[in-house]
Amino acid sequence: MQKGRTKNAIVNDRGPSDTFDKATIEKLAYENWLCRGCPEGSAEIDWIEAERILQATRGAFADDSISGSGLLETDVRAAGEAAMAELERVMAGDDHLKIRAAVEALDIATKPFAQARMNRAVGAQLRGKTIEEIEEAGGR
């Protein structure tokens, strides 16, 4: 579970072409904050989380460019870059709900890339192994 998220966090498996409008994302962010119990100090927590997510996303995008893995599709890159720019814009202010909404938008925009990276990592771990070997390693 990602830092700052609860078991009630909003999950969306839509691609970048199915992104939500700004009002919907702000509503989801507000609901997420309510699920976290409306904690005091959320502005600082949300800002720190947003900074961490921006750095990680930029790093993952750069790694894909350098390695030439081709996991990052053009439309996902464009949606992710736009979402990162919006997140940076709202981070210049002090509205933690807008920061939270922009983090949610970035998550939605980059989800296909994150899924592709996870699939590649899992595939690498399983490559060349039998089901019996995998079950044995899992302690079953």
Digit-by-digit pLDDT tens for the chain (140 residues) are: 333 333 333 334 433 334 456 666 666 667 777 777 777 666 777 788 888 899 999 999 999 999 888 899 999 999 999 999 999 999 998 888 889 899 999 999 999 999 999 999 999 888 898 888 888 887 65
pTM of the predicted structure, to 2 decimals: 0.67
- Which CATH number belongs to the domain containing residue 58 in this structure? 1.20.1270
Residue 71 inside a domain? The answer is yes
- Would residue 138 count as lying in a domain? no
* Structure tokens given for 56: 């990680």
The answer as to whether 41 is a domain residue is yes
Asked if residue 32 belongs to a domain, the reply is yes
In a domain, 125, yes or no: no
- Three-state DSSP class for residue 126: helix
110 burial type by CB count under 10 A (0-12 exposed, 13-18 middle, 19+ buried): buried
Q: Are 67 and 112 in contact (CB under 8 A)?
A: no
What is the reported pLDDT for 119? 93
DSSP 52-106: HHHHHHHHHHHHHHHHT---S-HHHHHHHHHHHHHHHHHHTS--HHHHHHHHHHH
Whole domain around residue 58: which residue ranges?
18-110
Domain count, the chain: 1
User: Within a domain: residue 7?
Assistant: no
Q: Is residue 9 part of a domain?
A: no
Residue 122, in any domain of the structure: no
